[in-house]
Amino acid sequence: MSKLEVDKIDPQSGTDLELGSSGDTVTIPTGVTLDASNATTTLPATVVTTTGTQTLTNKSIDSDNNTITNIVNADIKAGAAIDYSKLNLTGNIALADLSATGTKDATTFLRGDNTFATPTDNGKVLQVVSTFTTSAVVTTSTSYIDINLSLNITPSATSSKIFVIYTGTNETNGTSGNRLAIQMLRDATQIADSDGIGTLGSTNGVVTSASISKLDQPSTISQITYKMQGKSNDGTVMVFNLGSSTGTLTAFEIAG
């Protein structure tokens, strides 16, 4: 191997200087520093090939002038920030990849405080039972009697509440200050009542509408009977479920 020792090589003419010929390999030995810090270096069109492994260390890639495609399973430095607008998410994010705490499965939902929770039925109407009658009940009894409005409902949980509502059209008779009274029962227990319903009576009768509602909490899963009763306060004639008018009784089971 021949050895050429010179301090400087300049082109014979012009400004181009060529080392070797096509196909030759120019080797820079270990420990030699190639200083091109004050020069303009033109790189070949392909620097990093698609085969093999190349490592770039402490290098910046200008995102405005370069595009990196087909990055698979790449590691991104933990402190790096990626603008959300740059993400184009087309796949599904697995539940296990979410940072939220709690049980992550098909039975839970993600809350605004970034925790998974199990939905509850609180406040949900679980069932509705309703009945009505157009059968009038005429009485002068000063003690409560049934007025043909009764229903059965079986709560699905002891924590359930039962909202019961009654509406009906009734008639008072007589010329004195007589009134009628209505009560709502759960089985044999009064849970709501309305006394002194109606205006001053007349010989032809005065028609009046009445309604009672109650949010009951029976604390049972056994069948319950809700029913309505009425009476005359002074023994004069009272008519419940007047004529063709309808008396209704409805019970809503509400999850508690």
Q: Which of 75, 101, 119 is the last residue of a domain?
A: 119
Q: Is the pLDDT of residue 102 over 50?
A: yes
Residues 111 and 210 in one domain: no
Which of 67-76, 131-140, 159-168 is the least confident region?
Answer: 67-76
Q: Is the pLDDT of residue 244 over 50?
A: yes
Residue type, 169: T
Ranked by mean pLDDT, the top range of 15-19, 50-54, 64-68 is 15-19
Domain presence at residue 32: no
Residues 101 and 155 in one domain: no
For tokens 């009906």, what's the residue? Answer: 168
Residues 106 and 155 in one domain: no
Q: Which of 102, 119, 136 is the last residue of a domain?
A: 119
Nearby residues of 170 by Cβ (< 8 Å), 6 or more positions away: 180, 182, 197, 198, 207, 208, 209, 210, 230, 238, 239, 240, 241, 242
Domain presence at residue 175: yes
Nearby residues of 169 by Cβ (< 8 Å), 6 or more positions away: 207, 208, 209, 210, 241, 242, 245, 246, 247
Q: Which helix (H) or strand (E) holds 180?
A: strand 180-186
Residues 99 and 179 in one domain: no
Mean pLDDT of all residues belonging to the chain: 82
Residues 115 and 144 in one domain: no
Residues 98 and 140 in one domain: no
**Cβ pair 242, 146 in contact under 8 A:** no
In 10 A of CB 138, how many CB atoms?
A: 12
Domain presence at residue 50: no
In whole angstroms, give the CA distance from residue 231 to residue 143: 6
Residue ranges making up the domain that contains 233: 125-254
Domain presence at residue 177: yes
Q: What is the pLDDT of residue 42?
A: 76
Domain presence at residue 220: yes
Residues 228 and 245 in one domain: yes
Q: Which of 119, 134, 164 is the last residue of a domain?
A: 119
Domain presence at residue 223: yes
In whole angstroms, give the CA distance from residue 223 to residue 2: 111
pTM across the whole model: 0.57
Residues 153 and 103 in one domain: no
Q: What is the tally of structural domains in the chain? A: 2
Domain presence at residue 146: yes
- Three-state SS for 250? strand
- Three-state SS for 150? strand
Residues 149 and 225 in one domain: yes
Q: What is the pLDDT of residue 198?
A: 61
In whole angstroms, give the CA distance from residue 229 to residue 194: 11
Residues 219 and 233 in one domain: yes
Residues 108 and 187 in one domain: no
Q: For residue 235, give the CATH number of its domain.
A: 2.60.120.1340
